[in-house]
Amino acid sequence: MQIFQKLAGYSLGGADLVRRAMSKKKMDKLAHERVAFIHGDKDRGIDGCVKHGVDQTTANEIFDEMMEFAKYAFNKCATRSWMKSSGTSFHTGRTDKPRNRMKGVTP
């Protein structure tokens, strides 16, 4: 998200929307975001990499690397596996003192 903010001038909320699109692999949305990342989008107040001094070729390479990372980082099988194992370890805590089990859970 910081790459979108620092290089292209996205707001924090705008960068988060791109992160969500990457995690859900919404390619049509990401194609639109590629253009905004490189050249900007006046309607959304995004300057774009070119305006911030990054050449178009480098901006394309950065976006491609982020897309490759998203393929690995947002793997649904890995996420489900992690959720299952964390839930299992939560339930195998001490049963005589429930408060000990809740220490790691934040509201």
Q: How far is CA 95 from the centre of its chain?
A: 37
In the predicted model, is pLDDT for residue 86 greater than 60?
no
Cβ(37)–Cβ(4) below 8 Å? yes
**77 residue type, one letter:** C
pTM: 0.66
Angle at 76 between CA 3 and CA 35, to 5 degrees: 35
Mean pLDDT of 75-93: 54
Q: How far is CA 4 from the centre of its chain?
A: 10
Contacting residues for 94 by C-beta, under 8 A, at least 6 apart: 100, 101
Mean pLDDT of 2-18: 93
Please write the tens of the pLDDT for every residue from 65-79.
Answer: 988 887 777 665 555
Please write the tens of the pLDDT for every residue from 27-40.
Answer: 889 999 999 999 99
Domain boundaries, the chain: 2-74, 76-107
Q: Which residue has the tokens 């919404």?
A: 26
